[in-house]
Amino acid sequence: MPRPNRVAICLYLILSLVLRAAPAATAQTYTITDLGTFPGGGVSQGQGINFLGQVAGYARFSNFNAHGFLWTTSHGLKDLGAIPPASHFSVGQAINIFGDVAGYSVYDQLLDEHAVLWRGGKLYDLGTLPGGTISFAYGIRSNRRAKTSGDGPVEVRAQMPGKVIKVLVAPGDTVEAGQGLVVVEAMKMQNEMKAPKGGKVARLHAREGATVIAGEPLVVVE
């Protein structure tokens, strides 16, 4: 008669004890929000969401055409439009913390699509590579800057909601490009905001211990 495998028996006993000692998993709860549709439409679909709870996607009209949308708690479903004419189809695919939306839109009678960017209430046709006819945009980063060179002032903004852990500069300080300015903690991670160019700290908005929202100005370098 074969002898029992003592190692296997020990492992079985240990696993049994661990499973008995482990607490029962807590059921997760969710809040479901109906984002609605465009007037007369019956379909909408969210494609992306940012840290502020803003949603990008597309929704249909009564004529079954669809446009990309931006949904916010304050303004609801906003039609982002399409590459003219308005009868063209468009889809919002991704959104960053500034509310910029990337996606695509039909641009010709052949129903070819171009990648587009919706920013500040405007639609930007991103075009295609040389010789191409079709492009799509499926993602967008959150660390865009209004200006990264030249003599004008540059605002450094919080990339996501968080807390200012440390301020590394003072008004009037001279800084080099890439030098740390402010440390912001978000999602249990510390993010050092760096100077986009060399210059002088013209204004300092950040205060240690303060809570900031996405896009809030922290430092102005000129």
Residues 93-141: tens digit of each pLDDT: 999 888 899 999 999 988 899 999 999 889 999 999 888 899 999 989 8
Question: What average pLDDT score do residues 205-210 get?
Answer: 94
Query: What percent of the chain is modeled with pLDDT above 90?
Result: 53
In the beta sheet, which residues pair with residue 117? Answer: 102, 124
Phi, psi of 28 (to 5 degrees): -85, 145
CATH class belonging to 154-221 = mainly beta
Instruction: Sort 196 into a burial class: Cβ within 10 Å, 0-12 / 13-18 / 19+.
Output: buried
37 or 189: which carries more pLDDT confidence?
Answer: 37
Interval 21-74: pLDDT, tens: 656 566 778 888 999 999 999 999 999 998 888 999 999 999 989 999 999 988
Strands (DSSP E) contained in the chain are 44-49, 55-60, 66-72, 76-81, 90-95, 101-106, 113-119, 122-127, 154-157, 162-167, 174-175, 180-186, 189-194, 199-204, 211-212, 217-221
* pLDDT-derived band at 155, boundaries 50, 70, 90: confident
* Mean pLDDT, all residues of the chain: 85
Phi-psi domain of 82 (left: phi exceeds 0; alpha: psi -120 through 50; beta: other):
beta
In the beta sheet, which residues pair with residue 211? Answer: 163
Residue 82 has pLDDT above 90, yes or no: yes
Burial readout 26-51 (b: 16 or more C-beta within 10 A, e: otherwise): eeeeeeeeeeebbeebeebebbbebb
Cβ-proximal residues to 17 (8 Å cutoff; 6+ apart), any chain: none
Question: What average pLDDT score do residues 76-88 get?
Answer: 94
* pLDDT-derived band at 8, boundaries 50, 70, 90: low
